[in-house]
Structure 1
Amino acid sequence: MARRKELQGICNDLLDSFISRYNDLDGYWALGKFQTYLQSSAGQKLTFSLAGTATEKSPFTQTQLYYRQALCRHLAIRKMQSSWVGKANLCVRKHSRTKLKCTLRATTGLGREFTATACVFARPHDPQMELRSGVKHGPSRQKGL
Structure 2
Amino acid sequence: MKKQTQRQAALRQKLHTQGAQLTSQRAAVYDYLSGVEHHPTAEEVFLAVKPNLPRLSLATVYKNLEALVKCGAVSKLTYGDAAARYDIRTDHHYHTRCFGCGKIWDLDVQGGFDLLTQIRPQAGFEVKDYRLELLGYCRECRR
- Please state which band the TM-score falls in when normalised by the shorter chain: under 0.3
Q: Please, what TM-score do these two structures have when normalized by structure 2?
A: 0.26
Work out which of the two has the higher radius of gyration on C-alpha atoms and give 1 or 2: 2
More strand by share: 1
More helix by share: 2
Q: Please, what TM-score do these two structures have when normalized by structure 1?
A: 0.26
